[in-house]
C-alpha cells in the first residue's frame, strides 16, 4: 500500500460527459501530481499542486481542471469527454528523491 488513495478505480462514461477523479496523498504530504497514461502518449504529466496552490502545468487540456483542497486531497475534473481521453490517470505524492503513486483510475469513454 503506497498510502496514496485514488477513487474510483474504474469509470465508464459517455462522450460529452464530465467526471471527477479523486486523490488523497499520503498523510503529511503536501504535494499532488497528476499523470495520464495512454497507449499513444505514454505517461504524461498533467498538473502539480502543493499545499493548495497550483505549482506546475504540463500537457493538460483546457477541458481538464484540478484543485487541491485544505485537507490536501485533490480532484481532477475532466469535461466534454472524448474517446481519446480514455486512459489511466495516476496521482502521486513526492517522497525523498522520487514519487509514490496511487493505484490509478481507469477511465473508459464510450
Partner 1 sequence: AQTVTQSQPEMSVQEAETVTLSCTYDTSESDYYLFWYKQPPSRQMILVIRQEAYKQQNATENRFSVNFQKAAKSFSLKISDSQLGDAAMYFCAYRSRNRGSTLGRLYFGRGTQLTVWP
List residues binding partner 1 (CB under 8 A). 2, 31, 33, 35, 42-43, 45, 48, 50, 55-56, 58, 88, 90, 92, 94, 97-101, 103-104, 106
Residue 13 or residue 38: which is nearer to partner 1 going by CB?
38
Contact call for residues 3 and 98 (beta carbons, < 8 A): no
Burial of 41 (0-12, 13-18, 19+ CB in 10 A): exposed
Nearest approach in angstroms of CB 97 to partner 1 is 5
Cell numbers at 87, concatenated: 486512459
Residue 81 or residue 87: which is nearer to partner 1 going by CB?
87
Closest CA to 67 of 99, 105, 20: 20
Residue 28 or residue 98: which is nearer to partner 1 going by CB?
98
Amino acid at each position: 500500500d503506497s498510502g496514496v488513495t485514488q477513487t474510483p478505480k474504474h469509470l465508464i462514461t459517455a462522450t460529452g460527459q464530465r467526471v471527477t477523479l479523486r486523490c488523497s496523498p499520503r498523510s503529511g504530504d503536501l504535494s499532488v501530481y497528476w499523470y495520464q497514461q495512454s497507449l499513444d502518449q505514454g505517461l504524461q504529466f498533467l498538473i502539480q499542486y502543493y499545499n493548495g496552490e497550483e505549482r506546475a502545468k504540463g500537457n493538460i487540456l483546457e477541458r481538464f481542471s484540478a484543485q487541491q483542497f485544505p485537507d490536501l486531497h485533490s480532484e481532477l475534473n475532466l469535461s466534454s469527454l472524448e474517446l481519446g481521453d480514455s486512459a489511466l490517470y495516476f496521482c502521486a505524492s513526492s517522497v525523498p528523491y522520487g514519487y509514490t503513486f496511487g493505484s490509478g483510475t481507469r477511465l473508459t469513454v464510450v
